[in-house]
Amino acid sequence: MAVGSLMTDSGFLAPPVLLCGQNLAEPRKVELKAGQAVVFSRPQGGQSGANEDALGIIEKRDGGVCLAVADGVGGLPRGLEAATLVISFLADTILNKDQQLQECIEAANLQLLKELPSAATTVTAAEITDNVAKVCHAGDSTLLAVGQRGRIKLKTQCHSPVGIKEANGLDEKEALFHPQRHLLNNMMGDPVMWLEKQEGIELAARDTVLLG
């Protein structure tokens, strides 16, 4: 499902962009006032079943932009619906209400608990205004902010047993094949969901922010 994804004359997508459960053949560019974004979403190669990922790119009234991804939790029902609800709720709230990012996500969690009490999803969202980023996340969806020369300015820690082990020295290859890699310690759809926040992350003109 794609919601609000208009095409410009240049062939770029125009915000607000909401892509939910998509199987894209190739990445798509998004035209923004403050720069350019690229979106891509498809099921993991070699695996059966639907894509339960959702993403949103929303331009704010103050000229900033909000980037968000959600990954419906496997093993629980209605994962795609949960991810779609969260991204759609964030987009609507950011466009129509003057609320902080943390407040938007917390309100989305209450709505998720009300509408889909047996479902869950991760979320990672970044609000970028005047080249300064604010990040909130719950679960194991990750944000990576990288400078021109490859310097990592921020990498969020996954809220999972493997994420904790990575923070204590487990290398990336071991993490990819760890038997507990699918377990989560924190997620939306949980009444005790909590948000990890990073603020004041300064970005240069050609830095890259990746969410996945």
DSSP string, the chain: -EES-EEPTTS-EESSEEEES---SS-EEEEETTEEEEE---PPTT--S---EEEEEEE-TTS-EEEEEEEBPTTSTTHHHHHHHHHHHHHHHHHHS---HHHHHHHHHHHHHHH-TT--B-EEEEEEETTEEEEEEESS--EEEE-TTS-EEEEPPPSSHHHHHHHTT--HHHHHT-TTTT--S--BTSTT---EEEEEEE--TT-EEEE-
93 within some domain: yes
163 within some domain: no
Axis crossing angle, helix 79-96 with helix 101-115, rounded to the nearest 10: 140
Measured CA to CA, the distance from residue 176 to residue 39 in angstroms comes to 23
pLDDT, tens digit, 9 for 90 and up, residues 178-191? 444 555 789 999 99
CA atoms 46, 49, 50, 55: torsion sign: negative
62 within some domain: yes
Note down the domain range covering 49.
2-142+187-211
Between 149 and 194, the more confident residue is 194
What is the token pair recorded at 134? 């604010």
pLDDT-based confidence at residue 63 (cuts at 50, 70, 90): confident
196 within some domain: yes
67 within some domain: yes
Q: Which has the minimum average pLDDT: 63-67, 98-102, 120-124, 208-212?
A: 98-102
> What's the pLDDT at 35?
84
pTM of the model: 0.86
36 within some domain: yes
164 within some domain: no
Based on the structure, what is the number of domains in the chain? 1
Measured CA to CA, the distance from residue 2 to residue 19 in angstroms comes to 5
- Quick one: average pLDDT of 40-61? 84
CATH number of the domain that residue 130 is part of: 3.60.40.10
| Residue 162 exposed, middle or buried by CB count within 10 Å (0-12, 13-18, 19+) | buried
158 within some domain: no
